[in-house]
């Protein structure tokens, strides 16, 4: 491991301030340029990535923005802390992806005459929305400074087979970018890649996604180098696939013995090997990024996994809460084959575990919501001990957005637009309670001094300056 990689790990674990890391990165980049060494591009990518929010759960995949300095307070009525807000052309629960001066987002918008309502015919369907209109599936790029649309592409028009759960959307998967390309998934309605200027590069149809009870789709694609990782757990033949970022061509495809889940994969470097880790009903599994082969697997989660895992420093944390509660802390050192019930499971919990919101891994602390209620737990990541444990968030109720963190603060946004800001410490203290006039299921994105919140109607850019 290089000194630069070590510094990045220290930021992820809260042992090094983000501004110190940025100085370190800049110094390494300058030295690399002067010496004309091969590590210069890698250093530049690290520096750039730390300042962005390129994908679901941010640059580290943990919910933390290591170089972020977002505002603490904002208010819809007074306009305080709101740099801009813009009406969106459609609905969606996808998190914005942010890179340099661009914000990327997906949406689905009804058009034309009503053709429904048609109810889902999926077995066991309940609490589902009805299909009433054909939909336009939209990928857009907005100017970060003012929210104006730079380009907008309608990638497909279709009558959905199912509208999903009443709390879901037809654009729930978050886009992903590396600054050069932007890739968006609409599941059954296609996977689409664009260049930064909006030029269409490729599209890919992975088939029809058959969700449990017709509740809809939600797993986001993940980029690592030239590979795009897609998880496709559904009621048909489930699989994990790696596609070529530039062409959409399949590099490998591994079948999975899984039913529907909505978890997004994470990519983890450990002991010289890069793994793709995916939560599922039957097993949490680690796959070799290069080949798609299973390295390890561990049972113990519930059915209908929604929360994505998080990882750092050789540990993986995966939780669920549907027919039963479970949270597993898995050590990657020595993890091979089936590790269910082995000593590679460092600790586990069976109460107060997350259902819809994914955990947040900030420094040595793991945060997670109870189901999707206004109760957040903070535990020591490596021991699982309460630090201090469960904290009730007064004024917070239904939470579908995942918590995020930056600058020593944790942000939790509920469905009704209330965001509680907590001090990220052994004794979490509420620093602020903020209100916006919209409905929020999408998780926040943090880049630099700005926090982006996507509501049902509007996209907000929040900043203190």
Mark whether 231 and 201 lie in a shared domain.
Answer: no
Question: DSSP E strands: which ranges in 178-293?
Answer: 181-185, 191-195, 200-204, 222-224, 227-232, 238-244, 250-256, 266-270, 273-278, 284-288
Mark whether 105 and 170 lie in a shared domain.
Answer: yes
Mark whether 242 and 282 lie in a shared domain.
Answer: yes
DSSP string, 305-326: --SPPEEETTEEEEEEESSSEE
Mark whether 208 and 294 lie in a shared domain.
Answer: no
Show the domain range for 104. 94-217
386 is a domain residue: no
pLDDT, tens digit, for every residue of 307-356?
A: 999 999 999 999 999 999 999 999 999 999 999 999 999 999 999 999 99
Given this model, what pLDDT does residue 24 score? 41
pLDDT, tens digit, for every residue of 184-216?
A: 999 999 999 999 999 999 999 999 999 988 899
Q: Which of 336, 358, 380 is the last residue of a domain?
A: 358
Mark whether 121 and 203 lie in a shared domain.
Answer: yes
More confident residue, 47 or 247: 247
Mark whether 230 and 344 lie in a shared domain.
Answer: yes
Mark whether 234 and 343 lie in a shared domain.
Answer: yes
Given this model, what pLDDT does residue 1 score? 43
Q: Which of 171, 196, 217 is the last residue of a domain?
A: 217
How would you label 235-273 residue by residue, b for 16+ Cβ within 10 Å and e otherwise? eeebbbbbbebeebeebbebebebbbbbbbbbbbebeee
Backbone dihedral angles phi then psi of residue 459, each to the nearest 5 degrees: -110, 130
Whether the predicted pLDDT of 37 surpasses 70: no
67 is a domain residue: no
Cβ-Cβ contacts under 8 Å for 313 (sequence gap 6 or more): 9, 12, 13, 382
Given this model, what pLDDT does residue 436 score? 98
298 is a domain residue: yes
Query: Which pLDDT band, with edges at 50, 70 and 90, does 6 fall under?
Result: very low
> What is the Cα 133 distance to its own chain's centre?
28
At 170 the three-state DSSP class reads coil
pLDDT, tens digit, for every residue of 220-277?
A: 999 999 999 999 999 999 999 999 999 999 999 999 999 999 999 999 999 999 999 9
Tell me how many domains the chain contains.
2
Q: Region 451-463: what's the mean pLDDT?
A: 98
Kindly tell me the burial class for residue 337, based on how many C-beta atoms sit within 10 Å of its own C-beta (0-12, 13-18, 19 or more). Answer: exposed
Mark whether 194 and 271 lie in a shared domain.
Answer: no
453 is a domain residue: no
Mark whether 178 and 242 lie in a shared domain.
Answer: no
More confident residue, 162 or 257: 257
Query: Which pLDDT band, with edges at 50, 70 and 90, does 34 fall under?
Result: very low
**CATH code of the domain in which 117 resides:** 2.40.10.480
Query: Which pLDDT band, with edges at 50, 70 and 90, does 2 fall under?
Result: very low
Mark whether 190 and 253 lie in a shared domain.
Answer: no
Given this model, what pLDDT does residue 50 score? 81
72 is a domain residue: no
Q: Which of 186, 217, 248 is the last residue of a domain?
A: 217
**CATH code of the domain in which 292 resides:** 2.130.10.10
Mark whether 255 and 185 lie in a shared domain.
Answer: no
Whether the predicted pLDDT of 77 surpasses 70: yes
Mark whether 210 and 182 lie in a shared domain.
Answer: yes
46 is a domain residue: no
Given this model, what pLDDT does residue 39 score? 52
Given this model, what pLDDT does residue 38 score? 40
Query: Which pLDDT band, with edges at 50, 70 and 90, does 13 fall under?
Result: very low
């Amino acid at each position: 491991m290089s000194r630069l990689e070590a510094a990045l790990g220290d930021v992820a674990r809260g042992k090094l301030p983000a501004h110190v890391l940025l100085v370190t990165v800049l110094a390494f980049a300058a030295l690399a340029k002067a010496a004309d060494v091969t590590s210069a591009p890698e250093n530049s990518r690290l520096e750039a990535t730390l300042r962005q929010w390129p994908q679901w759960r941010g640059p580290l995949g943990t919910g933390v923005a290591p170089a972020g300095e977002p505002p603490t307070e904002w208010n819809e009525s007074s306009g305080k802390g709101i740099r801009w807000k813009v009406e969106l052309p459609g609905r969606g629960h996808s998190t914005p992806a942010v890179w340099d001066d661009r914000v990327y987002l997906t949406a689905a918008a009804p058009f034309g005459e009503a053709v429904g309502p048609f109810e889902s015919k999926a077995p066991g369907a309940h609490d589902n929305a009805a299909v009433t209109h054909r939909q336009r599936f939209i990928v857009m790029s907005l100017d970060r400074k003012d929210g104006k649309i730079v380009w907008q592409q309608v990638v497909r028009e279709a009558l959905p087979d199912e509208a999903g759960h009443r709390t879901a959307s037809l654009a729930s998967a978050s886009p992903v970018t590396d600054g050069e390309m932007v890739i968006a998934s609409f599941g059954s309605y296609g996977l689409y890649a664009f260049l930064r200027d909006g030029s269409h590069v490729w599209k890919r149809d992975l088939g029809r996604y058959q969700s449990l009870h017709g509740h809809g789709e939600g797993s986001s694609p993940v980029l690592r180098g030239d590979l795009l990782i897609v998880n496709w757990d559904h009621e048909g033949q489930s699989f994990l696939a790696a596609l070529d970022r530039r062409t959409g061509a399949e590099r490998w495809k591994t079948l999975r013995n899984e039913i529907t889940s909505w978890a997004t994969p994470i990519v983890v470097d450990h002991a010289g090997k890069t793994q793709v880790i995916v939560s599922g009903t039957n097993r949490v599994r680690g796959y070799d990024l290069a080949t798609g082969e299973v390295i390890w697997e561990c049972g113990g989660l519930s059915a209908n996994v929604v929360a994505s895992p998080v990882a750092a420093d050789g540990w993986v944390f995966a939780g669920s809460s549907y027919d039963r509660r479970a949270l597993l802390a898995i050590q990657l050192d020595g993890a091979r084959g089936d590790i269910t019930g082995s000593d590679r499971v460092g600790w586990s919990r069976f109460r107060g575990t997350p259902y819809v919101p994914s955990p947040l891994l900030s420094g040595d602390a793991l945060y997670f919501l109870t189901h999707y209620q206004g109760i957040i737990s903070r535990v020591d990541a490596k021991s699982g001990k309460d630090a201090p444990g469960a904290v009730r968030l007064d004024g917070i109720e239904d939470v579908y957005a995942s918590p995020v963190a930056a600058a020593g603060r944790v942000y939790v946004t509920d469905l009704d637009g209330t965001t509680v800001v907590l001090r990220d410490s052994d004794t979490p203290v509420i620093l602020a309670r903020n209100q916006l006039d919209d409905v929020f299921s999408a998780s926040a994105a943090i880049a630099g001094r700005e926090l982006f919140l996507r509501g049902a109607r509007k996209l907000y850019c929040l900043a203190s300056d």
